[in-house]
Chain A
Amino acid sequence: MTAQRSALPRRSAPPHRSVPPRGLGDSRLLPYLLILPSLAFYVAFVIVPIIMTLSLSMFRWDGLTQPVFVELANFRKVLGDPNARGTFLTALWFVGLQGILPVLMGLLLTVAMTRTRIRGMSFFRLVFFIPYTLALAVVAIAWRWLLALDGSVNQVVGSVLGDDARNAWLGDFFWAMPSLGVMGAWVNFGFVLVLLLAGAQRIPRDLYDQARVDGAGAWREFVSVTLPGLRYELAVALTMTVIFALRMFDLPLMTTRGGPGYATTTPSLSMYWSVFLNGEVGIGSAFAVLLTIVILIAVAAINRVFRESR
């Protein structure tokens, strides 16, 4: 991960220098031989395709006939079309709801679970982590039913606010986006919690004792001890959830089909439809390139913020 601390101590030279290398097992080539098979897979199926996507984004191609080089026309088309541009705004909403919100939820739970002795700690961790293990296709089906007109959310809403308040949440121009946001938060918060709890165990107890001696209340203790202590875990958690949110594909594909209108169409969905429905490989590749750039910027920004607040 880019969040990897760069200041790893350089390992000192192994002490048994006098022992001569033995046969092939210890040749200087060994590390390269160990890496070679992985590198071959990785280069062939990750690195080379990235470069090819970059190149495809500068062609007009339907997947069959001769590709035509069009320079940056695909990017101009994507960025010039309000609906296409809008997918990136949608992605930004998801960053808030599926990326940042679950981190805040995880923080709240971490504080709740570390401030006092909790009985059944491992039970709660087991339960909260379950949504993260489920395929998003499974999550989509679960929430489609939960939010359906006859589903149990409307049952509760109907009995509390009256039948007029019932809603087809996923088909509603306003509510479709927040509904998908809550689904993403539901998936991610337990994952964040597991990361943060592991980090919280490494915060020295005496920092808390010291804060209490100094008369710090719950809030001051949180700001001056817990938050700084979890900085690294927060960076990792946020990196993972923000990438999750920016790539959002499965949930809208299976619940809203990007609608109503374009309300929940994400860059990934647009990419998929451009290429595999409309045969616009260049446009789809431009979406892929732009999305990757946004992700790289977001990851760099997150790690910058958390490194500087050190």
Chain B
Amino acid sequence: MVSRRDQVVSYAILFLFTVFTAWPLLSTTLVAFNPPDATVHGLAIPTQPSLDSFIAAWTDPDAGIGRSLRNSFILAVTVVSVSVVLSILTGFAFGTMRFRGSRALYLLFLVGLVVPYEATIIPLYYEFRALKLIDTYWAMILPDIGGSLAFGTFWMTSFFRGFPRELLDAARADGASSWQTLWRVIVPTAGAATFALATILFIWTWNNLLLAIVMIPNPELQMAPAALNYFVGRQFGLNYQVTSAAAILVALPVLVVYYVLQRRYGTDVLSGSIKG
């Protein structure tokens, strides 16, 4: 029997963690609604809420957040769409077919799950520099796709392994080729899995700072997290209103994507494929 006391303890723990989670979010939001020239202190509840700090962050000529958001969108959409399609193909092969060398190839992909960007970024920088591709989107798109495919392959393979065998066999009996089966039978039912994969890859691509500051040093072209770093490092380091407003602008797109995902499928899909 679960006692009344247990229940009170549970709610107390949840309350504490809610405060812990919300506090930094709340303090950042509150300070951002102060104008850039205000003196801020403590929770900095704005006396006259103003959007001036957001406008300053958005339009700053040297590191405009507006421009960096557009750059990040181009990057994330390209990387996610290419990676998801390629991951469906590899997942289909590893998850439903038996072929020579499949185990070794799959393990090769799994290596990428634990190898950090630190292990690849130095030669990537010098190779792209030799090709004169530093300060172009390619310098991030290509490595980001490469880096996404390990997880994408792992994720989609798990999905295909769990796909009902009978459906595959039925499609085959009806005379469909594997290729037709993939696009007509499997992909239409893979909504939750692919959507979750797309969300995770979107978040990772959007948030990657190391790659962004190494590959695109030019402030005109830089990605959103790099723009934040630029803000903190150079101009607005101690202007907490403007830096916080900039941070909120960068966080919003990801929060929207996350919210849509979890409304449609629940948070559980994110852990769905590791059931082992």
Contacts and interface: CB of A to CB of B under 8 A. Distances in A.
Nearest to B236: A141
A3 interface: yes
Contact of B89 (A38, A129, A139, A299): A38
Contacts of B188: none
Interface residues of A, number: 113
B193 interface: no
**Interface hub of B87, B150, B254, B276 (most chain A Cβ within 10 A):** B276
A249 B243 contact: no
A127 B21 contact: yes
Contacts, number: 322
B131 interface: no
Please report whether the interface of chain B is mostly helix, strand, loop or mixed according to DSSP: helix
Interface string B218-253: 000000111011001100000010011011101100
Contacts of A115: 2, 6, 10
B179 A30 contact: yes
A227 interface: no
B24 A186 contact: yes
Please report whether the interface of chain A is mostly helix, strand, loop or mixed according to DSSP: helix
Interface in B21-48: 21-25, 27-28, 31, 40-44
Given A130-B21, A145-B27, A16 B169 contact: yes
A299 to B, nearest CB: 5
Contacts of A292: 115-116, 118-119
B75 to A, nearest CB: 13
A141 B246 contact: yes
Given A4-B154, A112-B9, A247-B116, 11 more contacts: A41-B145, A46-B112, A46-B120, A125-B267, A128-B17, A141-B28, A154-B42, A239-B114, A254-B232, A275-B122, A281-B126
21 contacts: A1-B113, A14-B169, A19-B173, A22-B177, A23-B177, A30-B179, A32-B99, A41-B145, A42-B149, A46-B115, A133-B254, A138-B251, A139-B24, A141-B247, A142-B25, A142-B27, A150-B40, A155-B41, A253-B229, A292-B115, A292-B118
The 3 closest A-B pairs by CB, nearest first: A45-B146, A25-B177, A52-B123
